[in-house]
Structures are given as C-alpha cells and as structure tokens.
Amino acid sequence: MLEIKNINVHFGVIHALKGVSLTVNEGEIVTLIGANGAGKTTTLRTVSGLKKPTDGQILLEGKDIISSSPQDRVLMGISQAPEGRRVFSAMTVLENLELGAYLRRDKKEIAKDLEKVYNHFPILADRKKQLAGTLSGGEQQMLAIGRAMMSRPRILLLDEPSMGLAPLFVQEIFNIIRDINKAGTTILLVEQNASMALQIANRAYVMETGSIVLSGTGSELMQSDDIKKAYLGG
C-alpha cells in the first residue's frame, strides 16, 4: 500500500534520512523502531508531506505522491497522530475530533466514525465538551489517535503513542491499536517501546542514524540478539 523508496532528507547540512526504503502492505501493522534521533519522526513527517525529501519516491498504491500537498495526502487516505500528541489544547475534545474530519463533507458518515472513535475510547465521549489541554497525557494520546481516525484513513501513522504513559495505559493503547487494525486500517507505528511494538507488529524495521539497518517479521526481530541487546534490555 505504502512504499517509501530511497528517500533522502536534509535539514540544512544535517543528513537526517539516508536512502530510507520501507514498505507497508494493506492490512499490516508495521513498526519502525530505533534510538532517539534515528529519523523515525522525520520519516513520518515526510510521508505526511510536512517535510520535502531531497530525492526518492513515496508511492501510495503505486502512485508517486512526492509532489502532493499535505491536504491531498489526507484526502488520499494518509493520516497521522504526531509525536507529542499535538492536540489543539484550547479547543474541545469534540472540536478536535471534528477537525480530524476537516476535509470530509459526508456528515452522516462522520457521525458514524465519531461513534467508532467513542467506542474505541469511551473516555473521549465523557469528555467531549472539555478542553483538550485539560486532558491527562494518556487521554490526549487517545484524542490524537481518535482525531487521526476521523479522516477515515487507509493508512494510519502513529508516532510514539506510548510516550510518557504509565504501563497500564501503554497496554491499553496497544490493544486499541490492534483493534483499529483489525477493523481494517493499515498501520505504520513508530515506537521506542520496542518489545510492545514487536509484539503487535506483522513486520518491523530498525532505524539507526538515518538508515534502515534491519528488517523482518515482528517475531524474527524479537529473537535477534542485536535487537535484544539494543532495544529489549538484554
């Protein structure tokens, strides 16, 4: 479904992505793991069109989307819950979710999707009139994911959804990610929490200083000694 081919990204003289290639097939959960500063967020921002790569291709269903605007990419079915949640703090939970459906006009279907989001995250239904900035960190993460679902994406990009969350919450978020995937949304998941990510992922890529250094199925990588040492704490 999504194919990143040999992209290079620079920030001035910093060469942040060095010929990165990765593929996400329809229906999969693919995870991208790696240490701080490896280039995971940059990869997702490039897929969403917030950062222009120096060269390389990004194909969605075989069509190159490099020159498409971020808006067009949302319309084509790419949606992202960014790193650090980035909810609209001075707007209500409901307004945040409505903004997720900004480009849609099908009111009835939007209402259905809102119900779906509330089913995944019942707490958001209770808090819909509350300002997003007053939610707890975990609730904000749920809102960020729910908001990203409101565009009815075909592929959902999640950037460190477990960041800063208590272990119990992390488990819950991962369960929900799996549910969203089962309901038919393809997922590209960036994580620092490698063990959790590898457990739910069909396939995984490991990134180090701007390059993909390893890839395989989730269980293959969990067995790999390098991964155990570097990311799984032994």
Partner 1 sequence: MEQLFQQIINGISLGSIYALIALGYTMVYGIIKLINFAHSDIYMLGAFIGYFSMTTLKLGFIPSLFLSMLFCTIIGVVIEKVAYKPLRNATRIAVLITAIGVSLFIEYTTMAIAGAGVRAYPQMTGFLTGAYRLGSVNITVHQIVIVSITIILMVSLQFIVKKTRIGKAMRAVSLDRDAAELMGINVDTTISFTFALGSALAGAAGILVGLYYNSINPLMGMLPGIKAFVAAVFGGIGIIPGAMIGGYFIGIVEVLVSGYSNSLYRDGVVFAILILVLIIKPTGLLGKNSREKV
Ligand X SMILES: Nc1ncnc2c1ncn2[C@@H]1O[C@H](COP(=O)(O)OP(=O)(O)OP(=O)(O)O)[C@@H](O)[C@H]1O
Binding site for ligand X (CB under 6 A): 11, 14, 16, 34, 36-42, 83, 192
| Length reported for the chain | 234
Structure tokens at 168: 């119990």
Tell me which H or E stretch contains 219: helix 218-223
**What is the number of other CB atoms lying within 10 angstroms of the CB of residue 8?**
16
DSSP state of 9: E
Which one of residues 31, 80, 162, 186 is an interface residue with partner 1 (CB under 8 A)? 80
Compute the C-alpha angle 191/74/86, nearest 5°. Answer: 50
Among ligand X, partner 1, Mg ion, none, the one that 192 touches (CB under a kind-dependent 5 to 8 A) is ligand X
Instruction: Kindly write out the interface string for residues 78-107 of this chain, putting x where it contacts Mg ion by CB under 5 A and - elsewhere.
Output: -----x------------------------
Q: How many helices (H) and strands (E) does the chain have?
A: 10, 10
**What is the number of other CB atoms lying within 10 angstroms of the CB of residue 42?**
22
Nearer to partner 1, 166 or 213 (CB): 166
Nearer to partner 1, 74 or 204 (CB): 74
Nearer to ligand X, 19 or 123 (CB): 19
Among ligand X, Mg ion, partner 1, none, the one that 102 touches (CB under a kind-dependent 5 to 8 A) is partner 1
Q: Does 140 bind partner 1 (CB under 8 A)?
A: yes
Among ligand X, partner 1, Mg ion, none, the one that 90 touches (CB under a kind-dependent 5 to 8 A) is partner 1
Based on its alpha-carbon atoms, the radius of gyration of the chain, rounded to whole angstroms, reads: 17
Which one of residues 25, 119, 136, 217 is an interface residue with partner 1 (CB under 8 A)? 136
Half-sphere exposure of 14 (CA within 13 A, CB side): 8
Of 55-63, 86-94, 113-121, 220-228, the segment contacting partner 1 by CB under 8 A is 86-94
DSSP lists the bridge partners of residue 5 as 57
Of 94-102, 116-124, 171-179, 184-192, the segment contacting partner 1 by CB under 8 A is 94-102
Instruction: Report d(CA 29, CA 189) in Å as an integer.
Output: 7
Output the residue with the shortest Cβ distance to Mg ion.
Answer: 41
Of 2-10, 38-46, 57-65, 108-116, the segment contacting Mg ion by CB under 5 A is 38-46
DSSP state of 186: E
